[in-house]
């Protein structure tokens, strides 16, 4: 290191030699071609996951997946999905020969805290990419921060249409599926299983994700002949859903759709079963409950109540394709239990980012974004997948699952009913549910 | 100086020096050393220190002087943030109108809530303020989404009118907040040996406002008005019996305190133009109560210290993960390393809340006057009884 | 009509939980003058007593079943709970099934012990300190307790089912002479309401008809005078703290089957229970109970579609609206006494 006093604005040079120091340069001008250009032999990724609050367990699972991905990128461990990934540019020597390092932070599942944490990764630790999160509010907030700061954001678990709809950003990419896809995949299975003459009652978490899911499911089921009796918003803070469940009994609805996630889902499902909804017969048909977005981690909290309930999920560890098996094997060997869908999407996002950098030959967010746009790949557990250029959403098969009747272990809660082919869940980029936003242009910072 | 006595002037001077040199003081470790994890001298956290400092100083004007414990102060901060972001969306990206509007709106909101809540005292007052704030939060999160953008938080878009500014920059981005062209987010970096120091425009603007806010707070503490508020705290009933109506005084304190919160909210939005509804939740209101008590309620510098303390833990301790711990102790024998890491990982990373909770208990048990008392004790320990308060400032802040 | 009766039942059910938590909180307020922010955590620990007993009873011996494989392709380890190997599968299974009711017995000594330790070890040093200090120290304690639970049990909710016989629901309306299949209500929620009524009645009877209770009531009214009479009020206050902890804990144990417990459920109830206590009036036990049921019922009615369609979002804020109206019309809540925590 030099001891000379160097002012970036004056000399327009970084005084950082090859010292292996990742210098935080957010929002500064000059010197670097883009924000946090890695210098030296390492590159830093920022894993921003919920470590406190209701989604802390999901965050912990995401972190496990990230650490596994870093291992594999650096050539340690068994390589996992690197062996099955259709693109072969990653060689297990880090990214572009730079060893991958990482920093972690706590989003607390609050947009403010998540942005603070992401900012500290960018400003203090020199992170070149931010990824993670377990809710859509956080994903959208952090995505717009990354756009402003000029780093890439690889979304974690976020299911709202808005993330790649009206709040899409050029620097943000989502591998996880969305509410529209859930509806498109689920509705035909619902119609096949429960018939096309059904009356649905929706309970919906009263915030943006809940609304987009309700809208998507209502549209998809009505298209197949279902009638929507009522849609009721429930407060996010609700813990006891009894006063929302009993009115269902007063209507002639014969299906209850729970647009809830996490603790809300566990409680509303448990309460619905308590009130005997599943034993009820309405209009000569068995009353049914549907949970459009299933999370295996969360479903454990509802125990026996999930048995036989239909829903959709991004990925499940019991999939038999090569990629899924490789991932489950390395994750299971390292941690002793199978990965969740959140872990899967985070692992894949990290690999996809690394691969895009390697193909672009640069860490520049604009080059990376270009490499990801329109990228087609396979071997990552979801079949052939496209990262669509128009909205940075991955298009791939969607799983329709059902709560398993006779689980063989505490992890064996869901069984795959149908793998809905990608064609059936694809929509036009200007679909009304996704309209209203623009990607804008990519921002390399600096 | 400036109408302050010598002691207060020294205190203000010390705070000014700390604010100006914070980028150095908070970055005591070289950037590539293992201890760099404890550096807090990066723009976002420094901004948070001063902004929450302003918030807590304002809260203390109410609680420290009058004894009225508001449990809904975060509502004013939230309202301030929303006003500022709306100003950025509609008018221009200059922070001055945004901050002014956020103070005005927060002040009006405080006038309304204060007028109603101050009809009651003690815990009844606390619950009334809590009720108003929780209502604001819940409505902002759900029904008021057209105004607040709900769960995601209100943010700028490429379609905003910004009648006095530009809707989008030439290269298709959203313009950035500025003070007459001086970008809030731009940072000068100084590399000095192994050290990296960052000087951020936004931080210095917020810092300057902290000094102004702190100065006004000293003046209020020393004024007849402040005296009156203290009298309310010691015995409101007696005040009323003497035929004096105390409500205008307490209401004035409430509104001033709300405007401080609005200023903090406006500044938060100016540094990072997004306003989330969680800013108004009861946990956020509780946080400023904790900051003030932790630092030392009723003292001038205490709330600022408390704010720094809590924000430091939230932002620094939560980022220490297992890998970092292993890198610190890798020189030790394997068994010992794993044992130490196993113990410590309960307290850092996802366990940062545990550390914070334990520290709350320890501080309040052993330092009844908060961190300020800790500083005073240290001061006495070194045998310099005079300027105890000044000592506090210099002793405690570098530890942040 | 039946819609309204159902919502009243729901309200009584929610109100039971609010009233039980508020009862303990106001006992501590009234007797010790302490603002206990850790009271929600006591409720949460109660629920986790049920979880813990369930886990203990499910401690299993592992045997390898070579015919089946686990998710990695290794031979599957089959778990058989020890109680089933000791007492035979049927009786063992019945014990596990009844773990929540058993947890009541299990939790009482634990909760009383926790109460004693909290009071003797921490709270008693704060009797003469300002309320602000009490808030800070008990809030710190609440964080520590919930982080410890999170560390051992994770953040996700953990299902703790009621005994199989009480898991479903029954036709409550038919028993009252309504048309069949109009008012169907879960067994366990009925049990919860009855249980709450018994506990609340028990606490009142204890305070009303025992010498101990009389002294405590006297202490609540005028602590100094009672102390001057040579009665060891401190010791009785410790016991009161243990009692309050036990009430909160029992409320938690019985609540576990209604909603799967998670580590932050205490914080979810904390603010609400403070509102309940204050609306009921500081220092008034009947006030706390009445406010608990009142707010529970109001909350249930506000979530009816008919009301929500007139006032969107009213179910989000009804409790706070009610609190504001009551506190503005009745300065000391429903039944509050003058001078308690008014300064």
Asked whether residue A46 falls in the same domain as residue A156, the answer is yes
User: Containing domain of residue A198, as a range?
Assistant: 180-313+413-425
Confidence of residue B221 (pLDDT cuts 50, 70, 90): very high
The DSSP letter of residue C63 is E
Asked whether residue A112 falls in the same domain as residue A247, the answer is no
C-alpha–C-alpha distance, residues B278 and A392, integer Å = 28
Quick one: tokens of B209? Answer: 């406002």
Confirm if B15 and B304 have CB atoms less than 8 A apart: yes
**In a domain? residue C33:** yes
A48-68 pLDDT, tens per residue? 999 988 888 999 999 999 999
Nearest to B365 among C137, C274, C313 (CB): C137
Interface of B with A in 285-344 (CB under 8 A): 314-315, 318-319, 321, 323
Q: Which long-range contacts (CB under 8 A, 24 or more apart) does C221-227 make?
A: C223/C33
Asked whether residue A249 falls in the same domain as residue A277, the answer is yes
C-alpha–C-alpha distance, residues C323 and C329, integer Å = 10
Chains with 3+ CB–CB pairs under 8 A to A are B, C
Q: Is the minimum CB–CB distance between B355 and chain A shorter than 8 Å?
A: no
Contact: A242, C13; criterion CB under 8 Å: yes
Confidence of residue B357 (pLDDT cuts 50, 70, 90): very high
Give all strands (DSSP E) within A67-166, no chain letters: 99-106, 129-132, 152-155
Q: Is the minimum CB–CB distance between C331 and chain B shorter than 8 Å?
A: yes
Q: Is the minimum CB–CB distance between B347 and chain A shorter than 8 Å?
A: no
CB pairs under 8 A between A and C: 132
Nearest to C147 among B67, B131, B351 (CB): B351
Q: Which is more confident, C175 or B388?
A: C175
Looking at every residue in chain A, the average pLDDT score rounds to 89
Query: Is A151 in a helix, a strand, or coil?
Result: coil
User: Å from B152 to nearest chain A CA?
Assistant: 4
The reported pLDDT for the residue numbered C113 is: 95
**In a domain? residue A139:** yes
C-alpha–C-alpha distance, residues A79 and A330, integer Å = 8
Q: How many CB atoms lie within 10 A of CB B210?
A: 24
Contact: C316, B119; criterion CB under 8 Å: no
Asked whether residue A130 falls in the same domain as residue A196, the answer is no
Confirm if C173 and C179 have CB atoms less than 8 A apart: yes
Helices C265-280 & C285-302, crossing angle to 10 degrees? 120
C-alpha–C-alpha distance, residues A366 and A441, integer Å = 9
Contact: A317, C157; criterion CB under 8 Å: no
User: Which of C262, C264, C304, C314 has the highest number of chain A CBs within 10 A, making it the mutation to test binding with A?
Assistant: C262
Asked whether residue A421 falls in the same domain as residue A282, the answer is yes
C-alpha–C-alpha distance, residues A340 and A232, integer Å = 30
C-alpha–C-alpha distance, residues A7 and B191, integer Å = 7
**In a domain? residue C274:** yes
Pairing of strands A42-49, A398-403: unpaired
Nearest to B134 among C137, C278, C320 (CB): C320
**Does residue B391 register a pLDDT over 70?**
no
Confirm if A35 and A123 have CB atoms less than 8 A apart: no
Asked whether residue A136 falls in the same domain as residue A280, the answer is no
The DSSP letter of residue A340 is P
Asked whether residue A49 falls in the same domain as residue A169, the answer is yes
C-alpha–C-alpha distance, residues B262 and A267, integer Å = 37
SS (H, E, C) C196-240: HHHHHHHHHHHHHHCHHHHHHHHHHHCHHHHHHCCCCHHHHHHHH
Query: Is A429 in a helix, a strand, or coil?
Result: coil
Contact: B138, C316; criterion CB under 8 Å: yes
Q: What is the mean pLDDT of residues B73-82?
A: 96
Asked whether residue A189 falls in the same domain as residue A143, the answer is no
Contacts of C81 (CB under 8 A, 6+ apart): C57, C58, C59, C60, C61, C92, C96
Asked whether residue A307 falls in the same domain as residue A352, the answer is no
Asked whether residue A389 falls in the same domain as residue A333, the answer is yes
Confirm if C318 and C34 have CB atoms less than 8 A apart: no
What CATH code is carried by the domain that includes residue C322? 1.10.3470
Report pTM.
Answer: 0.91
**Does residue A22 register a pLDDT over 70?**
no
Give CA separation, B311 vs A167, A247, A411, B211, B355, in Å.
29, 45, 38, 19, 13
Confirm if C315 and C299 have CB atoms less than 8 A apart: yes
C-alpha–C-alpha distance, residues C168 and B367, integer Å = 53
Q: What is the mean pLDDT of residues B59-88?
A: 94
**In a domain? residue C335:** no
Contacts of A72 (CB under 8 A, 6+ apart): A78, A79, A80, A81, A82, A92, A330, A351
**Does residue B164 register a pLDDT over 80?**
yes
C-alpha–C-alpha distance, residues B338 and B151, integer Å = 41
Our separate counts of H helices and E strands in chain B read 16, 6
A84-116 pLDDT, tens per residue? 999 999 989 999 999 999 999 999 988 889 999
**In a domain? residue A122:** yes
The reported pLDDT for the residue numbered B368 is: 86
C-alpha–C-alpha distance, residues C287 and C91, integer Å = 45
* Cα C54 off chain centre by: 18
User: Which of C69, C71, C170, C317 has the highest number of chain A CBs within 10 A, making it the mutation to test binding with A?
Assistant: C71
Say which range, A161-165, A410-414, B379-383, has the weakest mean pLDDT: B379-383
Chain C residues touching A298 at Cβ < 8 A: 156-157
Contacts of B306 (CB under 8 A, 6+ apart): B56, B290, B291, B292, B293, B294, B295, B296, B370, B371
Nearest to B357 among C35, C144, C327 (CB): C144
Contact: A144, B352; criterion CB under 8 Å: no
Helices A341-360 & A56-73, crossing angle to 10 degrees? 40
The reported pLDDT for the residue numbered B384 is: 56
**In a domain? residue A7:** no
Residues (pLDDT < 50) of chain C are: none
Nearest to A110 among B276, B315, B352 (CB): B276
Q: Which residues of B touch C (CB under 8 A)?
A: 63, 67, 69, 116, 119-124, 127-128, 130-132, 134-135, 138-139, 142-143, 236, 282, 286, 289-290, 293-294, 297, 346, 351, 353-354, 356-361, 363-365, 368
Q: Is the minimum CB–CB distance between B138 and chain A shorter than 8 Å?
A: yes
Chains with 3+ CB–CB pairs under 8 A to B are A, C
Number of domains forming the structure of chain A: 2
Number of domains forming the structure of chain C: 1
The CA-to-CA distance between both ends of chain A, in Å, stands at 23
The reported pLDDT for the residue numbered B19 is: 94
**Does residue A25 register a pLDDT over 60?**
no
What CATH code is carried by the domain that includes residue A152? 3.40.50.2300
Chain C residues touching B361 at Cβ < 8 A: 122, 137, 140-141, 144
Q: Is the minimum CB–CB distance between B191 and chain A shorter than 8 Å?
A: yes
Chain B residues touching C342 at Cβ < 8 A: 121-124
The reported pLDDT for the residue numbered C169 is: 87
The reported pLDDT for the residue numbered A31 is: 52
Contacts of A77 (CB under 8 A, 6+ apart): A68, A71, A330, A334
Interface of A with C in 294-353 (CB under 8 A): 297-298, 300-305, 317-318, 328-329, 332-333, 338
Q: What percent of chain A has pLDDT over 90?
A: 71
A371-403 pLDDT, tens per residue? 999 999 999 999 999 999 999 999 999 999 999
The reported pLDDT for the residue numbered A249 is: 85
Pairing of strands A394-395, A227-234: unpaired
**Does residue B52 register a pLDDT over 90?**
yes
User: Containing domain of residue C117, as a range?
Assistant: 2-54+103-329
Indicate left, alpha or beta for C209 from its phi (over 0: left) and psi (-120 to 50: alpha): alpha
Confirm if A164 and A391 have CB atoms less than 8 A apart: yes
Chain B residues touching C324 at Cβ < 8 A: 116, 128, 131-132
**In a domain? residue A420:** yes
A109-162 pLDDT, tens per residue? 888 899 999 999 999 899 999 999 999 999 999 999 999 899 999 999 999 999
Q: Which is more confident, B386 or A329?
A: A329
Confirm if A400 and A334 have CB atoms less than 8 A apart: no
| Number of residues written out for chain C | 343
Asked whether residue A172 falls in the same domain as residue A189, the answer is no
Confirm if A56 and B354 have CB atoms less than 8 A apart: no
The reported pLDDT for the residue numbered B396 is: 37
CB pairs under 8 A between B and C: 122
The reported pLDDT for the residue numbered B397 is: 35
The DSSP letter of residue C18 is H
Query: Is B222 in a helix, a strand, or coil?
Result: helix
Chain B residues touching C321 at Cβ < 8 A: 131, 135
**Does residue A79 register a pLDDT over 60?**
yes
**In a domain? residue C92:** no
* Cα A263 off chain centre by: 18
**Does residue B390 register a pLDDT over 50?**
no
Q: What is the mean pLDDT of residues B173-190?
A: 88
In the numeric block, the tokens 């209850």 are attached to A256
Quick one: tokens of A271? Answer: 């309460």
Contacts of C3 (CB under 8 A, 6+ apart): A246, A247, A250, C304
User: Å from A149 to nearest chain B CA?
Assistant: 9
Asked whether residue A420 falls in the same domain as residue A298, the answer is yes
The DSSP letter of residue A174 is B
Confirm if C134 and C126 have CB atoms less than 8 A apart: yes
A203-250 pLDDT, tens per residue? 999 888 999 999 999 999 999 999 999 999 998 888 899 999 999 988
Q: How many CB atoms lie within 10 A of CB B364?
A: 26
User: Which of C139, C146, C318 has the highest number of chain B CBs within 10 A, making it the mutation to test binding with B?
Assistant: C139
Contact: A104, B174; criterion CB under 8 Å: no
Confidence of residue A270 (pLDDT cuts 50, 70, 90): very high
Nearest to C137 among B138, B289, B361 (CB): B361
Contact: C312, B282; criterion CB under 8 Å: no
The reported pLDDT for the residue numbered C34 is: 86
């Amino acid at each position: 290191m030099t001891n000379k006093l160097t002012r970036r604005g004056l000399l327009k040079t970084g005084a950082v030699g090859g010292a292996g120091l990742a210098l935080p340069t957010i929002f500064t001008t000059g010197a670097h071609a883009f924000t946090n250009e890695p210098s030296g032999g390492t590159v830093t990724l920022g894993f921003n996951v919920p470590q406190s609050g209701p989604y802390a367990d999901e965050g912990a699972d995401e972190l496990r997946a990230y650490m596994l991905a870093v291992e594999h990128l650096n050539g340690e461990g068994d390589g996992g999905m690197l062996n099955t990934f259709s693109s072969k540019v990653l060689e297990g020597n880090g990214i572009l020969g730079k060893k991958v390092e990482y920093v972690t932070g706590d989003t607390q599942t609050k947009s403010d805290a998540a942005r603070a944490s992401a900012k500290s990764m960018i400003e203090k630790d020199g992170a070149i990419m931010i990824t993670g999160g377990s809710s859509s509010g956080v994903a959208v907030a952090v995505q717009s921060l990354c756009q402003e700061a000029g780093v890439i954001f690889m979304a974690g678990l976020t299911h709202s249409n808005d993330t790649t709809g009206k709040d899409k950003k050029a620097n943000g990419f989502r591998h996880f599926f969305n509410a529209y896809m859930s509806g498109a995949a689920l509705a035909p299975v619902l119609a096949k299983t429960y018939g096309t003459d059904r009356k649905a009652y929706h309970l919906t978490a009263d915030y943006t994700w809940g609304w987009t899911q309700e809208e998507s499911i209502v549209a998809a089921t009505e298209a197949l002949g279902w009638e929507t009796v009522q849609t009721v918003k429930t407060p996010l803070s609700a813990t006891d859903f009894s006063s929302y469940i009993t009115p269902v009994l007063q209507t002639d609805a014969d299906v209850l759709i729970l647009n809830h996630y996490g603790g809300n889902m566990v409680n509303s499902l448990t309460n619905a079963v308590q009130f005997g909804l599943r034993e009820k017969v309405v209009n000569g048909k068995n009353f049914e409950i549907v949970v459009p977005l299933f999370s295996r981690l969360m479903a454990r909290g509802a125990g026996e109540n999930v048995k036989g309930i239909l829903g959709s999920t991004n990925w499940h560890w019991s999939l038999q394709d090569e990629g899924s098996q490789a991932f489950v094997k390395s994750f299971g060997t390292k941690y002793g239990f199978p990965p969740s869908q959140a872990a899967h999407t985070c692992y894949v996002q990290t690999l996809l980012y690394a691969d895009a950098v390697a193909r672009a030959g640069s860490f520049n967010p604009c080059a990376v974004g270009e490499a990801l746009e329109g990228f087609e790949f396979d071997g990552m557990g979801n079949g052939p997948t496209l990262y669509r250029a128009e909205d940075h959403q991955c298009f791939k098969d969607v799983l329709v699952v059902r709560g398993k009747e006779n689980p063989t272990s505490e992890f064996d809660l869901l069984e795959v009913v149908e793998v809905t082919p990608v064609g059936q869940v694809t929509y036009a980029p200007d679909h009304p549910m996704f309209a209203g936003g623009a990607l804008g242009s990519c921002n390399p910072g600096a | 100086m400036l109408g302050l006595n010598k002691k207060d002037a020294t205190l203000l001077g010390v705070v000014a020096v700390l604010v100006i040199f914070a980028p150095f003081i908070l970055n005591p470790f070289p950037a590539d050393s293992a201890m760099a994890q404890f550096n807090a001298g990066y723009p976002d956290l420094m901004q948070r220190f001063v902004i929450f400092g302003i918030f807590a100083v304002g809260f203390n004007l109410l609680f420290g002087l009058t004894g009225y414990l508001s449990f809904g102060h975060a509502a004013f901060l939230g309202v301030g943030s929303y006003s500022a972001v709306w100003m950025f969306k509609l008018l221009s990206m200059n922070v001055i109108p945004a901050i002014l509007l956020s103070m005005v709106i927060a002040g009006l909101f405080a006038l309304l809530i204060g007028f109603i809540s101050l009809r009651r005292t003690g815990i009844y007052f606390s619950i009334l303020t809590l009720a108003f704030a929780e209502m604001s939060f819940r409505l902002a999160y759900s029904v008021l989404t057209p105004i607040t953008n709900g769960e995601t938080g209100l943010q700028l878009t490429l379609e905003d009118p910004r009648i006095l500014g530009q809707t989008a920059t030439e290269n298709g981005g959203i313009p950035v907040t500025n003070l007459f062209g001086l970008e809030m987010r731009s940072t000068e970096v100084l590399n000095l040996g192994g050290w990296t120091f960052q000087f951020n425009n936004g931080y210095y603007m917020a810092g300057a406002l902290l000094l102004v806010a702190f100065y006004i707070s000293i003046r209020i503490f020393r004024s007849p008005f402040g005296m009156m508020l203290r009298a309310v705290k010691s015995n409101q009933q007696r005040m009323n019996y003497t035929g004096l109506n105390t409500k205008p005084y307490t209401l004035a304190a409430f509104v001033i305190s709300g405007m401080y919160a609005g200023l903090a909210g406006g500044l938060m939005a100016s540094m990072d133009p997004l306003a989330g509804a969680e800013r108004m939740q009861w946990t956020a209101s509780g946080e400023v109560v904790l900051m003030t008590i932790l630092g030392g309620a009723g003292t001038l510098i205490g709330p600022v210290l408390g704010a720094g303390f809590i924000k430091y833990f939230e932002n620094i301790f939560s980022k220490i993960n297992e890998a970092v711990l292993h890198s610190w102790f890798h020189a030790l024998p394997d068994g010992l390393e794993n044992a130490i890491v196993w113990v410590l990982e309960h307290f850092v990373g996802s366990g940062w809340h545990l550390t914070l909770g334990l520290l709350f208990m320890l501080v309040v048990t052993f330092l009844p006057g908060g961190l300020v008392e800790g500083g005073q004790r240290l001061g006495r320990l070194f045998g310099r009884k005079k300027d105890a308060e000044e000592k506090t400032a210099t002793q405690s802040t570098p530890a942040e | 009509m039946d819609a309204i009766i159902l919502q009243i039942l729901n309200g009584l059910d929610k109100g039971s939980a609010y009233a039980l938590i508020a009862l303990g909180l106001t006992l501590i307020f009234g007797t010790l003058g302490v603002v206990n922010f850790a009271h929600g955590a006591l409720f949460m620990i109660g629920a986790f007593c049920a979880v813990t007993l369930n886990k203990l009873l499910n401690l299993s011996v592992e045997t390898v079943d070579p015919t089946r494989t686990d998710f990695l392709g290794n031979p599957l380890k089959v778990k058989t709970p020890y109680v089933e190997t000791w007492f035979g599968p049927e009786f063992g299974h019945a014990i596990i099934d009844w773990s929540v009711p058993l947890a009541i017995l299990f939790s009482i000594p634990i909760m009383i012990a926790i109460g004693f330790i909290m009071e003797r070890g921490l709270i008693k040093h704060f009797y003469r300190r300002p309320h602000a200090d009490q808030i800070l120290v008990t809030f710190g304690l609440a964080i520590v307790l919930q982080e410890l639970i999170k560390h051992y049990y994770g953040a996700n909710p953990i299902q703790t089912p009621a005994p199989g016989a009480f898991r479903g629901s029954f036709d409550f309306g038919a028993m009252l002479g309504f048309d069949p299949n109009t008012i169907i209500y879960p067994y366990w929620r009925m049990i919860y309401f009855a249980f709450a009524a018994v506990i609340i009645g028990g606490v009142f009877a204890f305070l009303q008809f025992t010498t101990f209770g009389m002294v405590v009531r006297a202490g609540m009214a005028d602590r100094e005078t009672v102390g001057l009479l040579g009665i060891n009020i401190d010791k009785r206050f410790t016991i009161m703290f243990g009692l309050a902890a036990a009430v909160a804990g029992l409320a938690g144990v019985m609540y576990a089957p209604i909603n799967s417990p998670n580590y932050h459920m205490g914080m979810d109830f904390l603010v609400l229970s403070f509102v309940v206590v204050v609306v009921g009036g500081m220092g008034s036990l009947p006030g706390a109970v009445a406010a608990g049921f009142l707010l529970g019922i109001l909350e249930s009615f506000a979530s009816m579609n008919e009301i929500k369609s007139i006032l969107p979002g009213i179910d989000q804020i009804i409790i706070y609206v009610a609190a504001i109206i009551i506190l503005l019309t009745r300065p000391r809540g429903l039944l509050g006494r003058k001078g308690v925590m008014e300064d």
